[in-house]
Amino acid sequence: MREVEVAACEEMEGPTEQDLEAIRVAKFTVQAIDEREKVTDHDTAAFVDVLSESAGPAGRWIHYGLTSSDVLDTGLALQIKRVAGLVLPDSRRLAQALGARAREHAHTLCAGRTHGIHAEPTTFGIKLAGFAFEADRNARRLERAFAQAAVGAVSGAVGTYSATSPEFEARVLARLGLEAESVSTQVVARDRHAELLQAIALAGAGLERFATELRHLARTEVGEVREPFGTGQKGSSAMPHKRNPIKSEQVAGLARVLRANAQAGLENVALWHERDISHSSVERIILPDSTSLLDHLQRRVIALVERMVVDSVRMRENLELTHGALFSQRVLLALVQAGIARDDAYRIVQRLAQRALDERTPLRELVSADPAGAGLDLDAIFDYQAFVRYADEIVGRLAAII
């Protein structure tokens, strides 16, 4: 806010160079503003009073022709621009970290799951590549959202420049390195801030999706991936064997806060006429909280991606839990190629696959013993390489973004 006031004084006619020197060194304290606000019952007016008093006689030029929102919203735009400089690099680092691990595990076989049930094999690298592309999309969304929200306005009481001019606004904002709101009705339109909060919430949802995947894969019954566990760390106050996915759980929990804040941001869009302040108190919570939480969550997930323990042996062991039933589509297609009607072939494979699961008998043995399986090339059908033959091509698409 002080930077906005100083920039305005530097661009207006009236203050002498001596006045500007006094204005540039004017100071305030939060305590002094709090004390003044007890009298004014207006925080910006209290700020202006304290800053003006500090500047001495030159203080009469501070806030000349301006209104509260000129200073508040333009000051907020400076904050948004600066926090973008903190958050956006990590959004890129996240995509890069996921891409690096995806390439590392391009051929690491694991079970693909739909509805939580084994479907067909995939690779852990393909899985991570999908997260990397999502992180890249979120990084791009955040870049756009921060840019369009970092706009200022110095247009006066109801945005008509009655005490200033559009040229004055342009000079002040250029000095501050900001773009101008096209039409400000005293305030910068709050759809801009809502868009930013939506982008942050969506980025949080992507972080939660990764955290949820890690949590599921860390379950004892699965055991394919683990969070890093530090020397001296304790997983439970009562059970020494515990290694809980607490960091992923924190990500999942805090992502809910981002979504709730985004909803509050939407509620802030509709203000009365040219301006009211129903949005102000809300923004003082949700904007610092959401940007701070996003910064924290991105750093947390980057650390998880870089340091997570991947158990490829357990992944391969888990592939055998269905006794080959996850090859069912390949058997189905082979029977269709052999001349059997699709529905008939489906019923045959369904019967044999259920037997494999229920009787814990390899599906390959059951197909080999069934008349329908006569003449089938079982070595070709029951070959895990069929599921990874395009892994390099799929993971290789990362070259377009990383």
Which long-range CB contacts under 8 A does 306-310 form with residues at least 24 apart? 306/97, 306/101, 307/228, 308/101, 308/214, 308/225, 308/226, 308/227, 308/228, 309/225, 309/226, 309/227, 309/228, 310/101, 310/105, 310/108, 310/124, 310/224, 310/225
Tell me if residue 303 falls in helix, strand or coil: helix
Paired with 109 in beta bridges are: 123
Sequence-separated (6 or more) residues with CB below 8 Å from residue 39:
46
The answer to whether 50 touches 36, Cβ cutoff 8 Å, is: yes
Sequence-separated (6 or more) residues with CB below 8 Å from residue 279:
187, 190, 268, 271
- Catalytic center residues: 115, 236
Of 391, 399, 401, nearest in space to 127 by CA: 391
Distance, CA of 111 to CA of 315 (rounded, Å):
7
The answer to whether 59 touches 24, Cβ cutoff 8 Å, is: no
Distance, CA of 135 to CA of 93 (rounded, Å):
9
Distance, CA of 88 to CA of 110 (rounded, Å):
32
